[in-house]
Chain A
Amino acid sequence: MRPLRRIITVSAIASLLFLGLVILSGWGLSGSYVPSLTDAFPATLYLEKSSSGGHLLRSIHYYSSSGLVFSGFVFLCCFYISGFTAKYRKTWILGVVLYLLIIGSAFTGYVLALDQNAYWGTKVRLGIVETVPLMGTAIADFLRGGATFNSATLPRFFTLHGSVLAAAIFLCLFLLIHSWKSVFIQYLSDQRFNVTLLVSIILFFILIIRFSAPLELPADPADVEYNPRPEWYFLWLFQFGKYVEWAPWIQSGVLPLLGVGFLFAVPWLRNHGQKRRSAIAVSWCLGWLVLTGLTIIDDKDLPDNPNYSEGMAIGAEKNFNRLCVDCHGPGGLGDGPEAKVFDLPTPDFTTREFWNNIDEQQMIIAVRDGKGNDMPDFGGSLTYEQILALIHHIEKSFKPNYQE
């Protein structure tokens, strides 16, 4: 009994800590984010690459939410095994509601970055919502503001993520903390506890700095080859969906109804004793592990989706071959077929002399606005980011003694 009680306490405190981190970093992020189809990705990219603290904020938000899903799960699991559910009904129900709200926040927050994974992943999820029996399309249309992804979709998801669900989470949190006030005060007045808490926050920050939240290329609704992949805690559902493709309502109707119904009914079910409860919890976890493992095995042959920098580098190589090779040549020597035919004075990228006489800014302007009568301007067909990536590709491939 004793270690179980300790796990419950630790996971509850960890959940509160993660929740605090998620909320505060979310407030930070919303300081420079716009929920619009055209601006959401550039705003996210700005946060990630150009702003001074946005990168850290995104990491904190991303990893704390993952941590929250995990610690919340551990808490619910151990609370269930301990059998406290009958004694503390209110705590259990509030905990389950809070957990569902957190999952809802994860669902609505997923789309906001509007990169490839966000767009396609949300499309798949809304597709699952649409298969909910009877009211699926009504719910999906309500969330999207139409039958397809449209200009009201992001504002709605942003509102749900940042206001509606957040407010509901605050309410649950208030009620929970209120009923366990004395316990919290007891912990917070313990010097050792406070030091441990502070140290774990600092450790978390140090760990987070080394990692970054994923960001892929901007969403492209015409990309046929893209395979979205859900977060680790949704992998099991993704795998389960594959087995019941013939009857999607099992995944979207029966399963949630049984699962959520069970969670809400737990305090009123006959108490079987701890062994039986442990067996049930362990078998649920095993099922989760097996399904998650199966997805990973299934997906191991799929190519990894490139992140933003890799994707831009691949795009830059394609753009070079499509737009530049005709004159500048595949080796960058300035010996492309068109340059030869029209006898153009195309520079040789492999010489030291070329790079001594030009800087990055001049190259950007040359690509964007063209140069003289011979080099056309690409400002209309390439974005600033693409031009930058193209120049880096040229530098990397042809510049003598190039160093990162």
Chain B
Amino acid sequence: MNKTKKNTGKKAVTGIVAAVVSATLMLFGLNGGDAIEVKYDLVQADKVTELKIYPDEDVSVDIVELYCNGSIVTKALLPTETLKSIPFVFSDLTNLELRLYKEGDVIGVGSFNEDKKLYVAFK
């Protein structure tokens, strides 16, 4: 198993990504907020790629869903599980979206920018 990417960015605000995810936030009646960079690991093996995200503990995300081109791929329970799919699904990170849940409510929406950094706009 080869680790192909580890992104360890600090908090930041990006206007473009925030605008993209805010469209999805509006679907859930959320105003959106600053987009915050979230650390993640992308681990690729022969037939499967696993995405693990590390949102701050204080936001207490419990479920994360992965979408590709608007369709749900899979979901995972945090902090123990990873998002798993075929490597092809992760071939262009900019076509992916994450929805972060806490106790049944969407509290954040995330996407990757061209630099493969993950930004999440929290409620």
Binding between chains A and B: no
A-binding residues in B (CB < 8 A): none
A interface with B by C-beta (< 8 Å): none
